[in-house]
């Protein structure tokens, strides 16, 4: 929004001709930006997902950890961890269940921390659990 307002304030820019272009996830949120700005001339959404961003992120994380190649019992555990992460990040749910799953699964080969770095079996000292629930997603 600040970039839009900046452009509209420039004397050399026709403030009635400013719009947004977004590609991929940017294309997915371009209509939201337009709705919030309220006074854009155009919106271009290129390669937008067309589905809920939480679903896009779930698909991305499940591919990241190789969910389809995991044994069925591991697949169920990994899916529960991904779902708990999505619930906290996209739905604002209580992080306590995610923290519990992180502790439970931290030694699994597919486990990753909240910054998408693969964690070796055994984890990195001090990585989990976060010191406070508010530290989830900080970084």
Residue 134 pLDDT grade (very low, low, confident, very high; cuts 50, 70, 90): very low
Q: Name the helix (H) or strand (E) containing 23.
A: strand 20-23
Helix ranges, 12-95 (H): 25-37, 53-64, 72-91
Strand partners for 20 = 43
pLDDT above 70 as % of the chain: 81
Share the mean pLDDT of the chain: 83
135 pLDDT higher than 80 = no
The pLDDT score that the predictor gives to residue 1 is 83
The pLDDT score that the predictor gives to residue 113 is 79
Residue 115 pLDDT grade (very low, low, confident, very high; cuts 50, 70, 90): low
Residue 25 pLDDT grade (very low, low, confident, very high; cuts 50, 70, 90): confident
């Amino acid at each position: 929004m600040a970039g839009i307002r900046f452009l509209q304030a420039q004397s050399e820019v026709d403030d009635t001709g400013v719009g947004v272009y977004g590609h991929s996830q940017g294309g997915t949120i371009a209509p939201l930006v337009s709705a919030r700005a309220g006074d854009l001339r155009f919106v271009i959404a290129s390669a937008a997902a067309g589905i809920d961003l939480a679903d896009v992120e779930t698909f991305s994380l499940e591919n990241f950890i190789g969910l389809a190649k995991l044994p069925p019992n591991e697949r169920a555990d990994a899916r529960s961890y991904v779902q708990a992460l999505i619930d906290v990040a996209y739905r604002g749910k209580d992080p306590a269940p995610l923290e519990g799953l992180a502790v439970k699964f931290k030694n699994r080969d597919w486990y990753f921390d909240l910054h998408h770095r693969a964690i070796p079996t055994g984890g990195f000292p001090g990585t989990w659990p976060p010191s406070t629930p508010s530290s989830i997603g900080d970084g």
